[in-house]
Amino acid sequence: MRHFDHIDTALRKHLFFRHPRGFDRHDDPAVLAVALGATLYSPATRPDLAGDIAKAARRGVTSLVVCLEDAIADAELTAAEANAVAQLRLLHARGGPAPLLFVRVRAAGQIGDLVDRLGDAAALLSGFVLPKFTAASGGPFLDAIAAAAERTGLRLYAMPVIESREAVYAETRAALLGEVAALLDKHRERVLAVRLGATDLSAAYGLRRPPDLTIYDIGPVAGAISDVVNVLGRADGSGFVVTGPVWEYFSAGERIFKPQLRQTPFEAQHAAPLRQRIIGTDLDGLIREVHLDKANGLTGKTVIHPTHVSAVHALSVVTHEEYSDACDILDVAGGGAMASAYANKMNEAKPHRAWAERLMLRARVFGVAAEDVTFVELLEAAGSR
């Protein structure tokens, strides 16, 4: 797999100063965690799930979750499991490209059962998404993944989801996150990334963000996200990649606030129709939220519609200016400060080093934009078919 491989080769040469590098499910987990990008969730009840997964891969999706949890009604669970198994076996038999695949389960017992029922097709799996994760509930999930991996020889990862009420309530949050951090540290080689369940966190207060606001405008949830990054996303070697929460809108309703995209960048690229399409499908809210995700230490995002993928991936490309700053910072061994090559900021070698190292990992996976290439061009190209 390689990000932006669905784009014409000549166009990629124009867009990138450094091209994205390829990866596969056997790569370094630090690379895979960043390479997840926009993780597309799909209900396990989809009648042509195998075809949907193959189509998603052709459209630039590099990670996908087959959901057996909240997306599935309780009465449909048995049928959903059977459909997921049948469709993944069909996908395996057909061969061809597939994204990094995960299954979101409800109970620990499903993990070994699904791996056994998949047989050889279990080789398609990169792991499991673990819902409502706490220190109390998480142990059996992690043990079940370890047992399935040992029994089959497969490399299976866990992606726990922080979304329980204890994680959002102020009086229980600190203790829960401390306990989760200790548990995940014991299983560090098995944990690919930590995910955030913003829908469940909002539900604890009967809230749902509208499409013209971001999750960071929802105070109780924004506070929980901040604390999750504080405890689980540290850059001192004790943390994990924490992914951005789901964006759940894909069609326009009545707008209260004006669009969140400035006209000037689109006019400069003669891309006014693209701006209108973004606004018409509420993707301007998604774009703003991804910017805030990155600023708050989150990497990648959960999405529920293929049209969201191109926006997340275009915003994941490292700009030429960011890359220039990171190179300058990493080239200095003993500390000190220097003016940016773009002459618009001060780079400090010691405090900015962790940022530069993380950015270089993103540059490896998503590439570095050419000096004169903007997000607008990347988005237009990434959304092309």
Per-residue model confidence as pLDDT tens digits over 326-383: 999 999 888 899 888 898 999 999 999 999 999 999 999 999 999 999 988 999 888 7
Measured distance CA(161)–CA(247) in Å, rounded: 15
Burial 158-191 (b: 16+ CB within 10 A, else e): bbbbbbbbbbbeeeebeebbeebbebbeebeebb
Measured distance CA(375)–CA(385) in Å, rounded: 18
Per CATH, is 20-261+281-316 categorized as 3.30.540.10? Answer: no
331 assigned to a ligand binding site: no
Q: 0.85 cut: is pTM over it? A: yes
Measured distance CA(327)–CA(314) in Å, rounded: 21
Token pair, residue 140, equals 């059996």
**Amino acid 274: pLDDT:** 53
State the number of CA atoms in the 13 A half-sphere of 76 facing the CB. 14
Low-confidence ranges of the chain (pLDDT < 50): 254-257, 270, 275, 279-280, 385
Per-residue model confidence as pLDDT tens digits over 156-186: 999 999 999 999 999 999 999 999 999 999 9
